[in-house]
Amino acid sequence: MKTQELDLFPIDNQEEKEAKATTNFDHIFDRLSQSKFRSSFYLNSKDKEYIEKRNWETIRKSTAEIISKRLAPANIPNDGRQTPMRHGIFPPFIAQHATACCCRGCFEKWHNIPKGRQLSKDEQQYAVDIIMEWLKRHV
């Protein structure tokens, strides 16, 4: 009935905070955009559908879980091969490749966070934030 209702909400602090956080990623996104490989990743219609059916908070939680299990451990036997590249499974996987958060080798090379040790909570948070930001920019 009142389809315009949402437009009436004022911008709250959360949005301002997110806007600030966004600018902090501009440098890394700029570097990634200069890589032919990293910038070749995109979301297809299946990925976008997956995102549309969920909310960002749910996707963030699943992403945090993936990062803690597949990127955070000190030793990952299949490092470099743990993140699928196929579309339509889980869009954050695609974002992991696009943002070089796909494996500890890439994470070290692009984000200067050494492999061979457990990632701290902050470092995991950092990876999740970049992934989420990439998804929001590419949906």
With CB under 5 A as the contact rule, which of the stretches 59-67, 97-105, 110-118, 124-132 interacts with Zn ion?
97-105
The residue among 25 and 93 lying less far from Zn ion, judged by its C-beta, is 93
The residue among 8 and 84 lying less far from Zn ion, judged by its C-beta, is 84
Residue 131 as a binder of Zn ion (CB under 5 A): the answer is no
| Size of the residue set binding Zn ion (CB under 5 A) | 3
The residue among 16 and 84 lying less far from Zn ion, judged by its C-beta, is 84
**Can you tell me the distance from the alpha carbon of 118 to that of 72, in angstroms, rounded to the nearest whole number?**
5
Whether the CA torsion 63, 69, 74, 76 is positive or negative: it is: negative
Q: Distance of alpha carbon 130 from its chain centroid, rounded? A: 5
With CB under 5 A as the contact rule, which of the stretches 2-10, 52-60, 101-109, 120-128 interacts with Zn ion?
101-109
**Can you tell me the distance from the alpha carbon of 22 to that of 16, in angstroms, rounded to the nearest whole number?**
10
The residues near 39 (Cβ < 8 Å, ≥ 6 apart) are 32, 33, 98
CB of 115 vs Zn ion, minimal distance in Å: 11
**Four-point Cα dihedral 94, 96, 99, 104, nearest 10:** -140
Residue 106 as a binder of Zn ion (CB under 5 A): the answer is yes
Binding site for Zn ion (CB under 5 A): 102-103, 106
